A = this chain, B = another copy of it.
Amino acid sequence: MNIYDIAQKSGVSIATVSRVINGGRSVSPKTQETVLRVIQEAGYTPNAFARGLGLNTMRQIGLLVSDVADTYYANEVAMLEKALRKAGFDVLLRCTGTETDKKKETLAQMLKRHVDAVILVGSSMQEQDDNSHILEAAEQIPVILVNGCVKGKNIICVRCDEMEGVRCCVRDMCSSGCRSLLFFYHTLSFSCRQKLKGFQLGLKECQEKGTPAKGSDVCIPGGFDEIMASAENYLREHPADGIIGADDMTAVAVQKATQKLGQMVPLVGINNSILSKAATPAISSIDNMAETMCTTAIKNLLDLFDGKRVPEDTVVSPEFIERESFVRKSVCGQEELQ
């Protein structure tokens, strides 16, 4: 069953059938009706491959993410997929892992698949130094970074100012009496670097404000169990009175460690994922506005497809979600206003 069959049954040419399928402009209402009825009756669907060949697109968009098993990324992928589907695009999903070479290779493969755009989900998709592969990809198709930033033509960035979020959090912890802070993380991604900067900046500002606090960052590679175990060892030697986890998973694991040691330490996570709710005590978390980032990213992409001008770098502000593990006595930013 192909376009020729439909043309024959309708008593028209394939050109007319094609027109009807693609929006029916300059087709008489009568012809249109006939053809549509035949298509309906025959249960005909145009061949996607042939269509792709002719139009040079199959309305597919590549989603690259280091790991969908990560709750936070999974959530973003879900939101992006939903928005893209609504706009009539299919999603080609690839997990890349964190190795630079794998990420580059995967991006190259996506280009060969002739996707209409590529979305790099999460800051882990961005390299610290050399992002030339992203620039190269952008020469062919739009590249969207969700929570990342690479400047270049045909590249759309949407990100959260996590540095600011952590900076404020540090200041809030200091004003709440914390004097010895720890920042735990497991991977030094782009986003993590920003958070670390915020951590240092916050400490510095506390010093200037006359409430000096010392702080260290500690890297524990691995998953939940490794972090929990190593954090326990670390905290036994280096107790702290305020802890920030680079993400909720890390925060929960560290929380477990403090509980084992009988230390009751103010604790904050990042991402505001279900893990922060699930923990006991529930963990206060810095929400990096995944939903806002995702909807903005897709909106910008669709605008770009429509030929509109689009902001090449959108920055959204994080939001502190207060739960049980740390309740602020004062709120950074608001004190200045008073």
Q: Whole-angstrom distance from the CB of A16 to the nearest CB of chain B?
A: 22
B45 contacts A53, CB within 8 Å? no
B274 contacts A71, CB within 8 Å? yes
A92 contacts B94, CB within 8 Å? no
Residue of B nearest to A114 (CB): B48
What per-residue 1/0 map shows which CB atoms of A74-86 lie under 8 Å from chain B?
A: 1101110110010
Interface hub of A67, A69, A82 (most chain B Cβ within 10 A): A69
Complex Cα gap A94–B79 (Å): 11
Within 8 A of B (CB), among A45-59: 45, 47-50, 52-53, 56, 58
B94 contacts A91, CB within 8 Å? yes
Residue of B nearest to A51 (CB): B49
Within 8 A of B (CB), among A252-283: 252, 255-256, 259, 274-275, 277-280
Overall SS of chain A's interface: helix
Interface hub of A92, A93, A95, A113 (most chain B Cβ within 10 A): A93
- Which of B49, B75, B95, B256 is within 8 Å of A69, CB to CB? B75
Q: Whole-angstrom distance from the CB of A18 to the nearest CB of chain B?
A: 16
Given A74-B71, A78-B69, A81-B68, residue A280 in contact with residue B277 (CB < 8 A): no
What chain B residues lie within 8 Å of A82 (beta carbons)?
95
Complex Cα gap A85–B113 (Å): 14
Given A91-B92, A94-B85, A280-B259, residue A50 in contact with residue B53 (CB < 8 A): yes
A49 contacts B114, CB within 8 Å? yes
Complex Cα gap A71–B94 (Å): 17
A274 contacts B275, CB within 8 Å? yes
Q: Whole-angstrom distance from the CB of A34 to the nearest CB of chain B?
A: 23
Judged by a CB distance under 8 angstroms, whether A224 is at the interface is: yes
- Which of B49, B63, B275 is within 8 Å of A52, CB to CB? B49
Complex Cα gap A77–B67 (Å): 10
Complex Cα gap A216–B42 (Å): 51
Within 8 A of B (CB), among A35-49: 45, 47-49
Q: Whole-angstrom distance from the CB of A49 to the nearest CB of chain B?
A: 4
What chain B residues lie within 8 Å of A275 (beta carbons)?
274-275, 278
What per-residue 1/0 map shows which CB atoms of A286-309 lie under 8 Å from chain B?
A: 000000000000000000000000
Judged by a CB distance under 8 angstroms, whether A249 is at the interface is: yes
What per-residue 1/0 map shows which CB atoms of A89-115 lie under 8 Å from chain B?
A: 011111100000000000000001110
A91 contacts B93, CB within 8 Å? yes
B95 contacts A92, CB within 8 Å? no
Q: What is the interface of chain A, defined by CB distance below 8 A to chain B?
A: 45, 47-50, 52-53, 56, 58, 60, 63, 67-71, 74-75, 77-79, 81-82, 85, 90-95, 112-114, 224-225, 249, 252, 255-256, 259, 274-275, 277-280
